[in-house]
Amino acid sequence: MGDCVRRSHRDIAAFIVRSLGVILVVAMAQSAAAQDFSGGWAPLGALPVDQAGGGRRGYIMPGEDSDVTPDATNRLSIHTVAANNFYREQNQEFLISQRYETHSLALDYRRGFALHGVPRFEIGGQVQLHQSDSGMLNGLISGFETFWASMTGYEQSRNLLRTGGPAVMPPLGTIITRNGVPLYRQEGGASGVGDLYVGGKMALLDLGPDSIAPRVAARIGVNVAGNKSYTAGNYVGMGLSVDQKLTPFLAFHGDGRVTRVLDQTSVWGLPVRPWTYAVSFGPEFRLPKRSSFNVQIDASSTPYWPTDVLAFDKAYGAVTLGLGHRFGHVMAQLYFRENMNMPFKVRWNTDPDLSVGLRIRIH
């Protein structure tokens, strides 16, 4: 099977602990004044995982919820993400090495429409800006791994490649070789304009976010590749979102999507499949003071044909924890994303080891 960096199932508990710690501190701070559950509750919606781009394995349309911009109004979203990429795998044919951190800024604009005889819909687009370097998340992760190992006695929680110094750590950037021949190389320090995404969404079951009946929306999108160091590729995607408020304190969000890949070969020099598939689902829990706590699972098929390496062959996904708050016409969502190989196998892959994101939506 070759040499591959791995994590145990205990590390998912470590991720949950470190994410919950930050989220609970924020939640306690904002609700310390009063446990205010007065008035109706409108769920904030699914977490915006992977919506800001930044590369990854690509060719997967990002998930969304069923919220559609109201008629004759505008909606602007500002989305920032810090994503730590750290991976190494080697067999007789391939060597895959990653070590860098990407900082992304995505600006998303949408306009709502309502035409006679047509369900309400929105049209919009997003542009991305990216910059990468060695970053600071590696230090934070290694510090937590050391703390977790000392608390549990489980020394395998420490990633020696992360802390072993220049002689052991993977070189900065991404390197992919096949039979000793370089396929792709990205320097660790770079910047550039990412992908351009345009799309539309239509409300099929058009109800208010505080309704106890399900809300359903369908969407299409086109992704145009930008800087090759950060692109998710050229593709066309379709998605269907369902949101259901189950009780005054609990909601459920689900999304399924299919992507038609327009490239024959990825920027990594590997042939890609013509279709990929993905789902996202999870609950949203009401918190005091117009806040919510989300747990979300995202799962995607791999866009690559079999290569006999985990980096490309396994279906992959993420578990994400998030905290959201509504400030009048402004909504903010803070989230922490940890990658997985599916079905629910905690293992490093070429998706970011850890992502921290913040999206602010104004409408």
Q: Which of 156-170, 261-275, 294-308 has the lowest mean pLDDT?
A: 156-170
Write down the pLDDT at residue 32. 45
Determine how β-strand 250-261 pairs with β-strand 275-287.
antiparallel
CA angle 133, 55, 78 (to 5 degrees): 80
Give the model's confidence band at 9: pLDDT under 50 very low, under 70 low, under 90 confident, else very high.
very low
Confidence (pLDDT) at 78: 97
Residue 263 has pLDDT above 50, yes or no: yes
Residue whose structure tokens are 């359903």: 216
Gap between the Cα atoms of 202 and 239, Å rounded: 11
Give the pLDDT score at 104. Answer: 95
Domain ranges of the chain: 3-362
How high is the pLDDT of residue 86?
84
For residue range 143-156, list pLDDT tens digits in order: 666 665 666 665 55
The torsion angle over the Cα atoms of residues 133, 136, 141 and 146, rounded to 10 degrees, is 120
Q: Is the peptide bond before 214 cis (omega within 30 degrees of 0)?
A: no
In angstroms, the CA 4 to CA 1 distance is 8
**CATH number belonging to the domain at 3-362, selected among 2.40.160.40, 3.40.1160.10, 1.20.120.720, 3.40.50.720:** 2.40.160.40
pLDDT, average across residues 41-55: 90
Distance CA 355, CA 341 (A): 16
| Average pLDDT of the segment spanning 229-236 | 95
In this prediction, what percent of the chain has a pLDDT beyond 70?
78
pLDDT of residue 38: 60
- pLDDT band at residue 215 under the 50/70/90 scheme: very high
User: Could you give the CA distance from residue 232 to residue 242 in angstroms, rounded to a whole number?
Assistant: 25
Higher pLDDT, 287 or 160: 287
Per-residue pLDDT tens for 241-259? 999 999 999 999 999 999 9
Q: Which of 209-218, 327-336, 339-348 is predicted least confidently?
A: 339-348
The band of 6, judged by pLDDT with boundaries at 50, 70 and 90, is very low
More confident residue, 361 or 168: 361
Q: Give the per-residue pLDDT at 170.
A: 81
Which residue matches tokens 């070789």?
177
More confident residue, 36 or 187: 187
Write down the pTM of the prediction.
0.85
Chain-centroid distance, C-alpha 225: 18
- Please, are residues 68 and 241 in contact by the beta-carbon 8 Å criterion? no
Residue 48's pLDDT band, with cuts at 50, 70 and 90, is: very high
Rounded mean pLDDT of 259-279? 96
Contact (CB, 8 A) for 145 and 159: yes
Mean pLDDT of 87-98: 90
Q: Give the pLDDT confidence score for residue 2 in this predicted structure.
A: 47
Rounded to the nearest angstrom, the gap between the alpha carbon of residue 263 and the centroid of all alpha carbons in its chain is 22
* Averaged pLDDT of the chain: 85
Report the alpha-carbon distance of residue 360 to residue 180 in Å, rounded: 45
**Would you say 230 and 217 are in contact if contact means Cβ atoms under 8 Å apart?**
no
Beta strands (DSSP E) in 136-249 are 173-178, 181-187, 190-205, 215-224, 235-247
Task: State the pLDDT at residue 33.
Answer: 44
